[in-house]
Structures are given as C-alpha cells and as structure tokens.
C-alpha cells in the first residue's frame, strides 16, 4: 500500500537545479508528476480485487485496471475534466480521489505562485553574461554612480580607443538607481548590469571572470571612512585575482599609503585618487591652466572640430588644441639608431606628433635628448612612447612614412651626431620595452610607493620624538607647536603666497608637491601656504606637516571678508577652493559644489578693485561649471572685473557684452552640442574651463578608463606632474613665459627657435 509513496524520492532531482527559477520550475513539475504516479499506485492498490468476482465492478466493489489506464484516470480527475469512462468503485478509492483532488487544488497553485514570484524577481540583472565567446568583455565593480559610469563609458567606447567590439559587465551588489538606468539605456547593447557580489564565486562565474579581458575596481572617493573604502577595494582585488590569475586589474584607492598593499594583492595598476588629485591641484597653483590641460589631453574628442567654424578666434585655437590627446605609440624598427631628440623633431615635422616619454623595462621614463633608440624583442618594433597627437589618424600616420625618408634622416642625424657629446652612462643602461614585463614594472611601482610610505613614517616618528622632547622643555603656559599653528594665524609680511580654502584630504602630498616643484631660480623661495577653514586639522595629521616651513592656518570662513583679510589674499599669487561637502549632505546631489561656487563668486566680487590672483576651484559635478561662467557673462565688460583667464584683456577675443548667452551659442555651439560627444561636450567652451581655473573630478574617471588601452598611463601622468624618483634633472611639466623673439611665431617655428631640450 505504501510502496507508491516511494516515488516521492524523485524530488532529489531538485538539487541539480542551477538557479532559483530552475529550482521552482523543477519543484512544480515534480510535484504534479509525484501526485499523478503516487495516486495511480494507491488507487490501483485500493481498487484491486482480492478475490475473483464475475459480477460487474460496481457490484463487486473492485476493479483490476492497468497502470497506464490509472495514470489517465488520475490526470483526468485532478484536472476536473471527469469524462466518466473510468471511475473508482470502492469506498476507499473514492475517498482517495476526493482527497487527491482537494490536495491538488491547494498544492499546485502554491507552486505556481512561487514560480511567478521567482520570475518577477528574476530580472535581467540576475542573468549571466552569455556573449563571452562572441565579444570580449571587461568587468566593472566597486562603487557605482551615474556620473562615474557616464564618463567611463563615454571614454571607453570612444572610436579612437578601438573598443568597438568589447562589452562592459557591471557587477554590483545593489540594484541600479534610476539615474544609473538612464546611463545603461544609452549603452544598452554594450553594457550588462549584473546584481551580485564580487566576493562570491557564483556571481563571478555569472560575470565570466575567467574570460574577462580586464577588471576595474572603483572606490567611493566621497566616503567618510577612506580607509574602509580602500580595504573594500583590496578585498575585491583579492577575489578577482583568485578567480583569474592573469587578467589585468586596475583599481582605485584614496590613500597613497594603501597603494603598495593593493599592488601586492594582485592589482596590475593603481590610481591613487587623493595623491593624484592634490598633486594636480598643488602644481596648478604654479602651472596655470594645468587642470584643463590634463583634462583635455585625457579626454578624447568625438569629431573633427576643425570643421566647425566660430566667430571667435580664441575658440578656434582652443578647439584645435583640444583635439590633441595622449597616445601610446608604437615606433617601427626603422627608427632605431636615432636619438630621442631626433625622434621628436622628425615626428613633429612629418605627422605633428610630440613624443614625451618612453616605456622601458623599468616603467615610463622621460628620456634624455641624446639617448639613442635601440630595439626590442619584437623584430618590427623599435620602442613604445607616450606622445601627444591629434587623434588616432595622426598616430596611424607613422606607419605611412616611407622608410626611405627615415633612413635618409637617420644618416643625416648620424653625421651631425659625431660632433655631439655621447649619452650619459646611466642612460645607456635603459632598454626599451614592449610593456609585457608587467611584474618587473609593478615591482618598481611598489618600491616607489613603499619608499615614499617609509619616508613618511620615518618623518612622522622623528617629528614625534622631537615633539616629545620639545613638549618636555615647554615652560608653564607656553603653547606647543601645534597650538601655535592653530591659533597664531599669518604674519603680516607674507606675500606671493597660496591661499587654500579648506584642508585637502591628503594635505601632506599637496604641500609636498608644491615644495618639491622646482622654482624659476635659486633665489626664489617656495611660496608660503595659508589654509583657511572652519576647523583645524587634528594634531596627528599635523605631525606629518611639521617638516614644512611657511605653512599657516586661519580659522574662519572664506565668505567672511574679515577672515579673508587675515590671509593677506590681496597679495596672494594663487587661491585654491576645495569642495568640502559630499552628496549625502544634500537632498539634491547636484548641490555638492554649492559651497565652492559661493566662495568663488564672493572672492571675485571682493577682487574687483584689487589684483585677481590665479583662481582654481575644484568641482565634483562638471555641469556646475555653468554657474561659474554665468558670473563671467554678467560682468564681462566691467573695467574693475578681472576675469581669471590665461590671456590678457587687450588681446582677448571674447564677444562684447551686448551678445547674450543665447546668441553666443551660435550654429557652431549648436552643432557641437548635438554631436555624439561625451556628457561634458557642451561644457567644453565654458570660460572657467578654457581659462584653466576648474579642476573637475571627472578627470580621475577618464584616467581610469584609459588604463586598459594605454598601460602604465597613470605612471606617465604621475611623472609628468611630480617627476621621477631620484631624477636629479627634475624632468617634469613646466610653465614658462615665451621669449620676445618668438612672439607671434607659429608653434613649429617656436620649437625650432627654442630648440629641443629636456
């Protein structure tokens, strides 16, 4: 009697389901099959005739039926069709069928509802990436927001980046927000969003980590706990490296002290958000226009802007420069034997490419002009260089140069080189590389971060010991060094200094960048730095700054005129305004730059009758720069107003005041805004951007996107801003005034007149 119940063991098959939907579907199907087969067996046992009976089944109260007939009978009964050709005749059989029909009415709808609930929750975000064999893909994980994704996708899928056949798989633990969904819809055919954790193997399997071309780990740069955010990135990096030992992993960290740790955990390259951002801001106080220069070099333009026509001369010149970007260029083997200086002259003359640095077996390095190009293991390649070029077409133009021209130029360079000095012995040891010596280059980067961290620790420990000795010798009522820093303010004779509104998150590297930057001559001291903020840094952070001279603090508000006067702002050479808020503090995340914009407008107002300093503002939202440019539009013709621009007023080509903002956006602006550019395309010609006065955090996302196709570009940007470690010649980016003899000359003639030098 109970033997038919053994069929219920078929439910063991449910464990082989690979997803929740399959599990519920298998459970529903096996429930119905179990009911049918079990009921058929029970009815066969209850209806069977134990003794022979020659009368009709209704009189005998029993019937011997075949099992297929009973299966048919049960299916017809539980489906409530009831054809009547087969029916139970025994009392027990009728009771069993009645019970099974009621049981089916209760159980089957429950299973169907579970399937429906599973299907409802089973959205596109729960599926796996299924196009790994057709399209290579990269995995994007970590902290996500709409602005970051929009900038990342706009750069990653740019035509000049050759990622047309690639896909991006986003692996995130939370559902996408409405703002992120808008971005995803714009790249619907190229991006797939998967809800899952990079810490779980099953979710990494859904993202097909084993076949990924690269992985990106993004950090929340606005986190109130930067150390915690860096640890999260480190754990994700470990999980990704464990799942794919060979895939390149590009990660972000906030604190530079965690960079070496992340590289040791498996990251191929690290973008140090804090150090990079504040190094750029620090150099921008002395190299005017640096934020815009770097942003334009990193951002790829989407069309030939030379075809657009503008009534303003400065716009045409600016857009021509904007079309240039940083590229990793393969130099053919035919260039072997030239010096690096000859390579610069030849490529600039033939294809308008300016080589800057070379990829060596020790990483990216600036080369001496007399360094002779050798050869790599590739029989067709001389070296790889980082260069400034006008689009991908200019880079491809190198392969179109006839070899005869290269050989002829090389012969002439050799004859000229006989009268020149030989290369430095140290430079002879440098070998060009293909960039495939990843571990060797990573070790060099790890060592550079480790040495810097050790120096910081030693300095902090040494200063701490000195502080203990000093505090021990303090007289009663005498203030400590930290107390004097927090309360004494600024000496009255401080001039030609830098005013910083707010404290940078990485104050140490900010000051270090300014102090290590070479000055124009040996008699010019590094400028003093004055921080204006509502609260002073804590004593622990101050310990790292004690080794720097001429660093002062004023407690107050940048929108209070009395507090600004305490900083001697009228004699300042640069004013830096930092964004101190985060999106979490506002109901509208676009208000994150409210304080910075208010401070800019206030400082511009009070500077109408004084000399306008070099004003640089940090913006988290790129679109907010329009609020700054509106200030310029309102006061364009004011004689007392000094617009912070890189050009003098008497040579500016700006439109007169009677032209409104709407008329300024003529057909040129309209065609540009309607193009296929990035989200920041319409902001390109905003005056506070073109004048180099705005640092936009979107630059960090642009750099992150470039890591895939331009290996070690982060190292190139770092040495461009701060120089190489142990580089006695201080090879880095400089800003200098043009000599009178090259004024009004074309850039090519200026380069030939000035000569090529390191």
Q: CA 478 to CA 476: how far, in whole Å?
A: 6
Cβ atoms within 10 A of the Cβ of 464, count? Answer: 13
Q: CA 433 to CA 381: how far, in whole Å?
A: 10
pLDDT attached to residue 390 = 87
In the chain, where does the domain assigned CATH 1.10.287.70 lie?
3-122
> Tell me, which fold does domain 125-267 have in CATH?
Rossmann fold (3.40.50)
Confidence of residue 141 (pLDDT cuts 50, 70, 90): very high
Q: Of the given ranges (244-253, 319-328, 407-416, 431-440), which has the lowest mean pLDDT?
A: 431-440
Q: Do residues 294 and 280 touch, judged by C-beta distance below 8 A?
A: yes
Q: CA 215 to CA 217: how far, in whole Å?
A: 7
Q: CA distances (Å), 441 to each of 263, 266, 295, in order?
A: 11, 13, 26
Quote the DSSP letter at residue 134: T
Q: CA 678 to CA 681: how far, in whole Å?
A: 5
Q: CA distances (Å), 67 to each of 46, 70, 92, 297, 474, in order?
A: 13, 5, 18, 80, 103
The pair of structure tokens assigned to 393 is 């077409």
What kind and span of H or E run contains 629? helix 625-634
Per 3-state DSSP, the chain is made up of helix, strand and coil in percentages (nearest 5) of 50, 10, 40
Q: What is the mean pLDDT of the chain?
A: 79
Residue 33 has pLDDT above 80, yes or no: yes
Positive or negative, the Cα torsion across 605, 606, 607, 610? positive
Q: Do residues 46 and 126 touch, judged by C-beta distance below 8 A?
A: no
Residue 522 has pLDDT above 80, yes or no: no
Model pTM score: 0.76
> Measured at the alpha carbon of residue 519, what is the angle toward residues 514 and 520, in degrees to the nearest 5?
150
pLDDT attached to residue 237 = 95
By C-alpha distance, which of 454, 463, 452, 488 is closest to 544?
463
For the 480-700 domain, the top CATH level (class) is: alpha beta
Q: CA 606 to CA 439: how far, in whole Å?
A: 54
**CA-derived radius of gyration, the chain:** 36
Confidence of residue 286 (pLDDT cuts 50, 70, 90): confident
Strands (DSSP E) contained in 409-502 are 498-501
Residue 188 has pLDDT above 80, yes or no: yes
> Tell me, which fold does domain 3-122 have in CATH?
Helix Hairpins (1.10.287)
227-271: per-residue pLDDT in tens? 999 999 999 999 999 999 999 999 999 988 888 889 989 899 999
pLDDT attached to residue 667 = 42
In the chain, where does the domain assigned CATH 3.40.50.720 lie?
125-267, 480-700
674-690: per-residue pLDDT in tens? 444 454 556 778 888 88
326-343: per-residue pLDDT in tens? 999 998 888 888 888 889
Strands (DSSP E) contained in 620-705 are 694-696
């Amino acid at each position: 009697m109970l033997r038919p119940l053994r069929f219920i063991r078929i439910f063991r098959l449910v464990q082989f389901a690979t997803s929740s939907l399959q599990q519920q579907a298998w459970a529903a199907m096996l429930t119905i099959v179990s009911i049918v087969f079990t009921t058929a067996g029970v009815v066969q046992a209850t209806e069977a005739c134990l003794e022979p009976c020659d009368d009709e089944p209704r009189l005998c109260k029993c019937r011997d039926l075949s099992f297929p007939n009973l299966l048919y009978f049960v299916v017809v009964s539980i489906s409530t069709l009831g054809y009547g050709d087969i029916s139970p005749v025994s009392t027990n059989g009728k009771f069993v069928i009645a019970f099974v029909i009621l049981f089916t009415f209760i159980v089957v709808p429950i299973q169907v509802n579970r399937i429906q609930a599973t299907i409802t929750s089973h959205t596109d975000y729960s599926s796996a990436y299924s196009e790994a064999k057709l399209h290579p893909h990269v995995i994007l994980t970590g902290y996500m927001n709409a602005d970051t994704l929009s900038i990342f996708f706009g750069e990653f899928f740019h035509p000049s980046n050759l990622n047309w056949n690639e896909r991006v798989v986003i692996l995130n633990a939370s559902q996408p927000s409405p703002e992120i969904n808008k971005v995803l819809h714009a790249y619907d055919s190229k991006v797939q969003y998967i809800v899952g954790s990079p810490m779980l193997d099953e979710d990494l399997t859904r993202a097909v980590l084993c076949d990924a071309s690269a992985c990106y780990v993004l950090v929340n740069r606005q986190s109130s706990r930067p150390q915690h955010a860096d640890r999260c990135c480190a754990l994700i990096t470990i999980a990704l490296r464990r799942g794919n030992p060979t895939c390149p992993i590009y990660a972000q960290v906030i604190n530079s002290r965690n960079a070496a740790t992340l590289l040791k955990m498996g990251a191929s390259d690290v973008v140090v958000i804090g150090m990079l951002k504040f190094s750029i801001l620090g150099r921008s106080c002395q190299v005017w226009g640096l934020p815009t220069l770097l942003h334009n070099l990193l951002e790829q333009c989407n069309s030939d802007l030379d075809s657009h026509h503008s009534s303003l001369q400065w716009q045409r010149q600016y857009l021509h420069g904007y079309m240039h970007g940083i590229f990793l260029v393969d130099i053919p083997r035919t260039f072997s034997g030239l010096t690096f200086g000859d390579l610069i002259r030849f490529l600039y003359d033939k294809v308008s490419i300016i080589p800057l640095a070379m990829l060596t077996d020790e990483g990216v390095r600036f080369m001496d002009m007399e360094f002779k190009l050798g050869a790599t293991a590739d029989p067709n390649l001389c070296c790889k260089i980082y260069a400034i070029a006008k689009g991908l077409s200019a880079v491809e133009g190198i392969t179109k140069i006839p070899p005869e021209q290269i050989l002829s130029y090389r012969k002439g360079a050799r004859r000229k080189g006989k009268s020149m000095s030989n290369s430095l012995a140290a430079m002879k040891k440098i070998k060009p590389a293909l960039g495939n010596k990843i571990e060797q280059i990573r070790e060099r980067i790890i060592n550079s971060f480790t040495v810097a961290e050790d120096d910081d620790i030693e300095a902090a420990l040494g200063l701490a010991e000195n502080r203990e000795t000093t505090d021990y010798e303090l007289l009663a009522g005498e203030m400590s060094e930290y107390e004097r820093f927090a309360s004494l303010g600024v000496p009255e004779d401080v001039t030609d200094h830098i005013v910083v509104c707010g404290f940078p998150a990485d104050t140490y590297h900010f000051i270090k960048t300014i102090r290590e930057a070479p000055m124009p001559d040996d008699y010019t001291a590094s400028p003093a730095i004055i921080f204006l903020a509502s609260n002073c840094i804590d004593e622990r952070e101050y310990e790292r700054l004690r080794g720097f001279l001429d660093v002062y603090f004023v407690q107050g508000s940048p929108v209070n005129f009395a507090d600004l006067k305490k900083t001697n702002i009228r004699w300042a050479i640069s004013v830096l305004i930092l964004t101190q808020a985060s999106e979490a503090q506002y109901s509208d995340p676009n208000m994150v730059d409210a304080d910075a914009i208010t401070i800019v407008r206030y400082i511009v107002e009070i500077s109408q009758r004084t000399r306008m300093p070099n004003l640089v503002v940090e913006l988290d939202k790129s679109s907010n720069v329009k609020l700054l440019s509106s200030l310029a539009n309102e006061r364009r013709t004011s004689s007392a107003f000094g617009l912070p621009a890189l050009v003098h007023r008497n040579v500016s080509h700006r439109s007169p005041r009677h032209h409104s903002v709407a008329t300024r956006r003529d057909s040129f602006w309209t065609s540009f805004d309607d193009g296929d550019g990035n989200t920041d395309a319409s902001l390109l010609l905003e005056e506070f951007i073109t004048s180099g006065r705005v640092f936009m955090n979107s630059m960090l996302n642009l750099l992150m996107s470039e890591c895939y196709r331009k290996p070690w570009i982060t190292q190139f940007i770092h040495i461009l801003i701060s120089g190489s470690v142990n580089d006695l010649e201080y090879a880095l980016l400089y800003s200098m005034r043009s000599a009178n003899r090259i004024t009004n000359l074309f850039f090519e003639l200026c380069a030939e007149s000035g000569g090529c030098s390191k």
